[in-house]
Chains A and B, each alone.
Chain A
Amino acid sequence: AQSVTQLDSHVSVSEGTPVLLRCNYSSSYSPSLFWYVQHPNKGLQLLLKYTSAATLVKGINGFEAEFKKSETSFHLTKPSAHMSDAAEYFCVVTANSNSGYALNFGKGTSLLVTP
């Protein structure tokens, strides 16, 4: 079985402060992990992906995520939040298993950035 849990449904930060969006996963197989962002009334945009290369992954707009196998986590961070970062963020885990390909989206974390 495979699943992904985004630990916070809402996160609020002040502009210029660090952002931490938490994601835990479970997978019996070697997973690929992704973070996507969705701005209001828009489709999803890929921020970054992990596919068993370097454990620290750098993405667009200053975001990065660290794959920690021992903690089964893939948290998304950014050193300094910008107003334009306010959006919904989704953690996604995919894996090939004996029963086929599986893909799971987290429930999403809504990021609010205050002035």
Chain B
Amino acid sequence: KAGVTQTPRYLIKTRGQQVTLSCSPISGHRSVSWYQQTPGQGLQFLFEYFSETQRNKGNFPGRFSGRQFSNSRSEMNVSTLELGDSALYLCASSLVELAGGHEQYFGPGTRLTVT
């Protein structure tokens, strides 16, 4: 069974631009979560989507948004990029929603650099 895939793997953007990252979960998984990983803040939860609905949200500004499609694929969008948005963005999928206590399977991440 194929794992979680994320595209693109690397991205360089300029301040003020917007970016869209994509995540394809493991086949059959309906929950997709997004995380930001930085050396200073560590791993921080952005949000979770399940059955095309946002189920949980971390403490991030509204510039960070996402959506999930009927095939469970998910996209994350960051508008008006700031230098501090430079990070590794990880996507994880789970069979059911996170509140069920199930484990997550992570993709390799998208490395975003904002200049």
Chain B residues in the interface with A (C-beta under 8 A): 4, 35, 42-45, 55-56, 90, 92, 98-99, 101, 103-109
Contact = CB atoms under 8 A, between A and B. Distances in A.
B63 to A, nearest CB: 21
B106 A101 contact: no
A90 interface: yes
Max count, chain B CB within 10 A of own CB: residue among A96, A101, A106: A101
Given A44-B90, A94-B98, A101 B56 contact: yes
Contacts, number: 44
Given A34-B103, A49-B103, A100-B56, A43 B108 contact: yes
Interface residues of A, number: 22
Main SS class of interface, A: strand
Nearest to A104: B45
Nearest to B41: A107
B103 A105 contact: no
Nearest to B45: A103
Nearest to A42: B108
Max count, chain B CB within 10 A of own CB: residue among A44, A105, A107: A44
A43 to B, nearest CB: 4
Contacts of B90: 43-44
Contacts of A103: 45, 56, 98
